[in-house]
Amino acid sequence: MIAGTPVLDLDDAASLEAADAQGALRSAASGGAQVRATAAAVGEDALTRLADLRPRSVVLVSGSGRAARAAGLLVAALGDRVSLPVVPTAALPPWVGPLDVVLVAGDDAGDPRLIDAVDRALRRGAEVVVAAPHEGPLRAIAAGRAHLLEPRVPVLGHNRLLRFLAAGIAVLRAADPLRAGAAIPELTALADVLDAEALRDGPRNEVFHNPAKTLAARMQRHGIVFAGDSPAAAELAEHAAEVLLQSAGKVAAAANLAEVAAAKARIAEAAGGSAPDFDPLFHDEELDGPPPVQRVWVFVLSADRDRAAARRRVAIFGAGESRVMDADLINPDVDLLHTETTDGAAPVGARAEDSTSEYGTELEQLAVLALRLEMAAAYLGLIGGRVAGGDGSRQYGGSF
């Protein structure tokens, strides 16, 4: 076997499913189920007391990991599109009182910060929503006084972003129904969109028709940089790097697009751009040995509904300028196998001819990309021979 050859073939569905003993693919594909579970809780009147409340603010108290990332993504995506302040924080601010709604989210029911936040917020008369496992000290503190959006779908730790995102969406829709409705997707509709994406990314769909497998194939044997072209997309880039590390043990950098563009020359230099007599077009690893450079692939995450404008921003990484750097635009509508995104003047595929996205809000687009990236990371872990989740973290909350 040639060194560096993947253990499994991406198009060998039977082998992928057999190798996935820990359920990494099922976990990554469960984003729609997590969102639907939150929608079901809301339908069961979990947030009834928030109706017509008109609070002064919504405070998002988050534990570490995906809960904090979801809070940052919500704030970055919404901006001034809601009529009340949305405050992400790691601990309850001292000014919180009866006029505020507090969402406490995390994986660990024994986290002292979350327990303290619930306790103090309840004592101050705030409306408290708990999106965490209903057990242990947190259950004792909430004691029927807080609204509950407890997890109902068990997934691996790094696949919980969409659950926390759904909890934030549910609270904001309940607290600010007039303005939030235009900027925030309805949960059941979002779950349908995520389920459709999971079907497209399933193991029985070949690489040619599978966006997640296409991403995984792009990521093999390359240095990886995730770049977000907006504050919310930059948050998603950070999440993508974290998931790739935990799913496949692969290190990736993440930053906003402006920072990556400014570092382009340094990236090429560090990758070995000055290596003599190297042309990737004519280099054969079987005959010539390992390449003398570490090629870097920049994945630009975008929720811009104007795809033409998004492609122009990616054109700075034109393939003709560097032998060691490539770039792709990662957008819910972009087909990587039929769209050349490294050349701003190149013709685009059939799905990219329309200049606007078929998806709705920015949050909906970012949620679709989150699921796609998590599926790609799961595939990359499997074809590299690594299996995620062997530490027993496939629970509703964290590892205890």
pLDDT score, position 71:
96
pLDDT score, position 8:
65
Q: How far is CA 262 from CA 53, 113, 208, 317, 329, in A?
A: 46, 38, 33, 11, 18
Is the pLDDT higher at 347 or at 321? 321
Mean pLDDT value across the chain: 83
pLDDT score, position 349:
36
Least confidently predicted of 145-154, 234-243, 289-298, 350-359 = 350-359
Q: What is the mean pLDDT of residues 296-303?
A: 92
- How confident is the model over 191-211, as pLDDT tens digits? 999 999 999 999 999 888 899
Dump the DSSP string for 281-326: TT--HHHH-S-SS--EEEEEE---S-HHHHHHHHGGG-GGG-SSEE
DSSP state of 58: E
- What span, in angstroms and rounded, lies between the C-alpha atoms of 168 and 149? 10
Q: What is the mean pLDDT of residues 79-99?
A: 91
Q: At residue 171, does pLDDT exceed 60?
A: yes
**Half-sphere exposure (Cβ direction) of 102: Cα atoms closer than 13 Å:** 32
The radius of gyration of the chain from alpha carbons, rounded to an integer in Å, stands at 22
| pTM of the full structure | 0.86
Q: At residue 133, does pLDDT exceed 80?
A: yes
Confidence of residue 358 (pLDDT cuts 50, 70, 90): low
CA-closest candidate to residue 328, choices 317, 127, 158 = 317
pLDDT score, position 351:
39
Q: At residue 375, does pLDDT exceed 90?
A: yes
In sign, the C-alpha dihedral spanning 32, 76, 226, 364 is positive
What 3-state class would DSSP assign to 51?
coil
Which two tokens mark 180? 């939030």
- How confident is the model over 307-329, as pLDDT tens digits? 788 888 888 886 445 567 788 99
- What span, in angstroms and rounded, lies between the C-alpha atoms of 383 and 385? 5
CB-CB neighbours of 104 under 10 Å: 29
> Kindly report the CA angle at 210 between 223 and 241, in degrees rounded to 5?
30
pLDDT score, position 286:
66
Return all residues near 144 (Cβ < 8 A) that are at least 6 apart. none
Confidence of residue 117 (pLDDT cuts 50, 70, 90): very high
Q: What is the mean pLDDT of residues 128-139?
A: 94
pLDDT score, position 143:
84
